[in-house]
Structure 1
Amino acid sequence: MESLRSKNYKKEFVTSFPGDDSGNVTPRQTPGVLYSKAMPTPVEKVSLLAWSEELAKELGIQKPEGQQELDILGGNYVTDTMYPYAACYAGHQFGSWAGQLGDGRAITLGEWETIAGQTYELQLKGAGPTAYSRRADGRAVLRSSVREYLMSEAMHYLGVPTTRALSLVTTGEPVLRDMFYNGNAAYEPGAIVMRVAPSFLRFGNFELLNARKETENLQQLVTWTIDRYYPHITGENKVIDWFKEVVERTAGLMVEWQRVGFVHGVMNTDNMSVLGLTIDYGPYSFVDDFDPDFTPNTTDLPGRRYAFGKQPSIGYWNLGCLAAALLPLAEKEQLLAALETYKEIYWKKYYQMMGRKLGLDKVTNQDTDLITQFEKTLAAIKPDMTIFFQLLIELPLYMASAQEVTGHFKDSLYDDLTPEQSEQLYSLISNYLERLNTNTITRAASQELMRKTNPRFVLRNYLLHQAIEELEQGKNDLFLKLQQALKTPYSNEHDAFFQTRPEWASQKAGCSMLSCSS
């Protein structure tokens, strides 16, 4: 185990590309460079609120000892071998070209190399202004930092590709925020998360270089990305082969989000990882009552572009933007052909995933009709997604009536079913039981498959909201319980949280809806 203070950090990104080394954090356009140096702005007092022991062990990082090492986590101390910088990128936001964006409140300190030779970027979110902060202060509040820290770790334990979070610290300084952009600004406690990923490269990094016609920089970035993160890709057709793999990873990520009921909330192209990771946790949510039109983001209303059921199609749209950015480097027809593989890959992976959620031995053409029936029925009756699939695992192999079926799923329902809805559910379950009778695996094996695929615990917004309120009052009991529960989401160890969203949380700010500042 090595300490954060004594580590000899690598800085291959900044030594490989042109950047602005001035350290000037005045908001501005930065043509011709891929990053700008940005020293973290010191805060009043760095105090450790959370530390991911498991991630630290994977990376070989020793838990901070003494204030100087803690200060690294809050940006108050930068070691001699670190080179803090903010990356420059662009993006399409809510379907429109936004131009240059960049890391407005994220500062990468350096690259940590493990004993195994793997390299990870260590990045502080909320450590002060950068050249890309525009009109913002570069800070983060406790509310959003707790959400990012817990959810990135929760997604990891759910088995969803994601960036990670190593630490969460408070800063001892208040930060002014207008949570819903409605003129009701208030001071909130400040905090900083240390994020970890092999790379934080986004679709928008490539879009910006293409938009600025910096073809040489674009070629260099693509080549560097392939050599570093896709070293198995070789030959003359590297750009197309790489894009094909980004397509496949993105399709797989969308399937994983649908599996666990995760809604990102702001799927702009600057929030899409070229490594196929979930990146930038803001106004996200898990689905409570099953609703394909659900979006947790107030900024996404009324169009609901990034609603739960639309995420797979947005993944395809965003990949189209990346393909457009690569046009100077590859043939248009080949890029389009690679893009079109997304649909087949997604549906194949999706049906395989749904087959596992339902405990099927394999998915046949007839099973796709059953899966469609599940989708339509759940959208009609809107049960709690997590609880419904848990109850499905324990479904008796014979259900005599609609009343009996409705009774079995009662604990997942937010509203009483109409007679028509009860019959619709009964028809679905009857067809499902009939299909189970043809399974070539045992009932026990089927149930085990379902338990490994369907989480029993998800980090619901109302739980996060309660934990944040307690932390703001100086209490961390619920925070610590959630930190433990998220590590075993497929077990029944934390069934105190196995319940539907309470009624009070349906309309409460921070529980039902959030903004991009969340």
Structure 2
Amino acid sequence: MKYMHMNLVNTYAQLGATFSSNVVPQPLEQPRLVHRNQSLAEQLGYASFSDEDFVQFCNGKNLPKNSQSIAMVYAGHQFGSWVPRLGDGRAILVGEATKSDDTLYDLQIKGAGLTPYSRNGDGRAVLRSTIREYLCSEALHNLGIPTTRSLCMIDSETLVYREKTETGAAMIRVAESHVRFGTFEYFSYTKQYDALQALVDYVIQRHFPEWKNEENRVELLFTEAVKRTAELIAQWQSVGWCHGVMNTDNMSILGLTIDYGPFGFLDGFDAQHICNHSDWQGRYAFSRQPDIGYWNCTALAQALLPILPGGQESAQAILKTYPKFFAEKYSILLRAKFGFATADESDSTLIDQIFQQMQEEKTDYTIFFRSLCDDSVENLFVDREKFRRWYRIYQRRLNQEGRAEQDIRAGMLASNPKYILRNHLLQIAIDKAEVGEYSEIETLFTIMQKPFDEQPDYESYAELPPGWAGELEISCSS
């Protein structure tokens, strides 16, 4: 098999048994390829591998001789409550692909079977959740949002039991790191401070080697994590995307979107939207995501305190940068969506006014911004006279830019996607895939490669969602 020639290392495994456990993937029965991400395969140097090669690799068989399968241990705050030991319960890191620029990419099989951290689970992933993560990670990537990605996914005849009997599936998740806030929490709360320092040094050596000899390297890493987290969530807010389960074990130290579960893009605008049916308290509602990001950074600060040279004072100073990082990034993104290249003191009021009307009327978030530079935008509102009053003020503000209309419009179209991966589109693809028809997955994958383009052949995928879309319930098991 070609995979025997894959250039893999596993630097995380070299940290030792304190950080992970050796595991053996448990192959699925009668695996079959659902999709392969050819562009990512080309990036990693795997473009020439056959479909069967991908199936076997994703199924945990015929692994390269230089692979070393491990499950990573971590802890975390789940819905605000401390859970002392979690870990990869259904994911197995088989190695890190090396590239010519010395960047390492984790290759992790998700859905590969039991690990020491599976708790009462079966270590499996079901087809529907695998489809959701596979497609949405690619959708966010092409929106320019930092994220893990997926190399390929398979279906099988293995039965998995959730709310109903489903088929097991697996995917290969690719990321520069799978280290989480909860990884640091695990070693801190178990008072393994040498291991905590080793983890910090590992992350720095792998991702920020220029800091490795700095005395304040822990502060530097924490500052970077705060900045990346704030900016990531600003990007989520700008496209109307909800994560759904922002537990500290689902927060990447590199500021990547990770662990796709009950996520969702906004349809009708609702700042209080809760995309996770299991989140009955609304902890992770759309409008709360920025604050939860700060809460999670505070939890990371607490974990790092035992090895933070500057102690509590340093941690607090760094945490205070979070609102600034978020506000700066979000302001830039939001102004771009409205066509503003400059800042004006009236912008906040102007934007708040239209968001208030969108909230009242549940105006479709994505379609509104895509239509804002067209004459048809007022048709999205019930109270059109109210919108027209706002629009006249908005036009005067645009005129202050002193830029050509076509330049403003081009910038807005490049900042406001036409196509997003709405839950009802995913559900249609899932329903078809569950009876063995995978073509809709390919269609959605193709559309999401170019979310800002017009794509006339797929115009229907940019339309308002059907009425039944609002009845979909996405839970943590999704």
Question: Is 1:18 paired with 2:28?
Answer: no
3-state DSSP of counterpart to 2:370: helix
Cα offsets for 1:128-157 (capped at 9, x unmatched): 010000000000111011111111111111
- 2: CA distance, partners of 1:504 / 1:118: 44
Match of residue 105 from structure 1: 90
Partner amino acid, structure 2, of 1:147:
R
Supply the AA of the counterpart residue of 1:47. Answer: R
Q: What is the match of residue 60 of structure 1?
A: 45
After superposition, what is the alpha-carbon deviation per residue over 1:255-310, rounded to whole angstroms, capped at 9, x for unaligned?
Answer: 11011111000000000001010001111000000111111111111x21111111
Distance across 2 between alignment mates of 1:339 and 1:110: 34
Give the 3-state SS of the residue equivalent to 2:152 in structure 1.
Answer: strand
Q: Deviation at 1:479?
A: 1.8
For 2:435, the equivalent position in structure 1 comes to: 473
SS at 1:168 equivalent: strand
Pair 1:431-2:403 in alignment: no
Counterpart residue type for residue 355 of structure 1: R
State TM-score, norm by structure 2: 0.96
Of 201, 218, 231, 2:209 maps to 231
Q: Deviations over 1:44-101 (max 9, x none)?
A: 1221110001001111113433746531111133332111111000011111111111
CA contact (8 A) 1:4 1:69 kept: no
Q: In structure 2, how many angstroms separate the alpha carbons of the residues matched to 1:144 and 1:55?
A: 20
Q: Counterpart in 2 of 1:464?
A: 426
Name the SS of the counterpart of 2:153 in structure 1: strand
Shift of 1:472: 1.3
Aligned to 2:182: 204
Match of 1:139 among 99, 111, 124: 124
Residue pairs, 1:369-518, within 5 angstroms: 369-395=349-375, 408-410=377-379, 412=380, 417=382, 421-493=383-455, 494-507=458-471, 512-518=472-478
Instruction: Using structure 1 for the length normalisation, give the TM-score.
Output: 0.89
* Match of residue 59, structure 2, among 74, 86, 105: 74
**Distance in 2 (alpha carbons) for counterparts of 1:69 and 1:348:** 42
Query: What residue in structure 1 maps to residue 33 of structure 2?
Result: 48
Q: CA deviation at 1:349?
A: 1.3
- Conservation of the 8 A alpha-carbon contact between 1:377 and 1:428: no
In structure 2, do the counterparts of structure 1 residues 369 and 3 end up closer, same or farther at CA, with 3 Å as the change threshold?
farther
What amino acid is aligned across from residue 228 of structure 2 in structure 1? R
Deviation at 1:478, TM superposition (A): 2.0
> Distance in 1 between the 2:217 and 2:100 partners?
29
1:402-445 deviations in Å (ceiling 9; x for gaps): xxxxx7433x46xxx3xxx4444233222211201211221111
Q: Secondary structure at the match of 1:193?
A: strand
Paired amino acid for 1:495: E
Name the CA distance, whole Å, in 1 between partners of 2:285 and 2:184. Answer: 26
Query: Could you say which residue in structure 1 is the equivalent of 2:272?
Result: 293
- For structure 2, which runs of at least 5 residues remain unmatched after alignment? none
Please say if residues 4 and 62 of structure 1, whose CA atoms lie closer than 8 Å, have aligned partners that are also in contact: no
Q: Which residue of 1 aligns with 2:316?
A: 336
Q: Distance in 2 between matches of 1:408 and 1:13?
A: 51
2:23/2:92 contact within 8 Å kept: yes
Distance in 1 (alpha carbons) for counterparts of 2:198 and 2:322: 26
> Residue 361 of structure 1 contacts residue 441 of structure 1 at CA under 8 Å; is this kept in 2?
no
CA RMSD of aligned residues (A): 1.6
- After TM superposition, what 4+ stretches of structure 1 lie above 6 angstroms from structure 2? none
**1:3–1:62: 8 Å Cα contact kept in structure 2?**
no
Find the counterpart in structure 2 of residue 365 from structure 1. 345
Aligned pairs for 1:115-264 (under 5 A) are: 115-178=100-163, 186-233=164-211, 235-264=214-243
Between the aligned partners of 1:308 and 1:489, the Cα distance in structure 2 is 22
Asked if structure 1 preserves the Cα contact closer than 8 Å seen for 2:378 and 2:384, the reply is: no
- 1:355 partnered with 2:335: yes
Inter-partner Cα distance in structure 1 for 2:173 and 2:51:
21
Q: Which amino acid aligns with 2:247?
A: N
What's the offset of the Cα at 1:237?
A: 1.3
Question: Structure 1 63/128 Cα, relative in aligned 2: closer, same or farther at 3 Å?
Answer: farther
How far apart, in 1, do the equivalents of 2:363 and 2:448 lie?
22
Aligned length: 473
Distance of 1:6 and 1:196 partners within structure 2: 19
CA distance in 2, matches of 1:517, 1:293: 22
- Could you say what secondary structure the match of 2:84 adopts? strand
Question: Percent identity among equivalent residues?
Answer: 40
Aligned to 1:28: none
Look up the match of 1:4: 3
Is residue 50–residue 168 contact of structure 1 (8 Å, CA) maintained in 2?
Answer: yes
Pair 142,423 (structure 1): closer, same or farther in 2 beyond 3 Å: same
Counterparts of 2:366 and 2:344, CA distance in 1:
25
- Distance change >3 Å, CA 334–CA 455, structure 1 → 2: same
The CA distance in 2 between the partners of 1:86 and 1:63, in whole Å, is 28
* Cα-to-partner distance string for 1:109-128 (whole Å, 9 max, x where unaligned): 11110233221010011010
Cα pair 1:158 1:489 within 8 Å, conserved: yes
CA distance in 2 between counterparts of 1:161 and 1:327 reads: 27
DSSP 3-state at the match of 1:455: coil
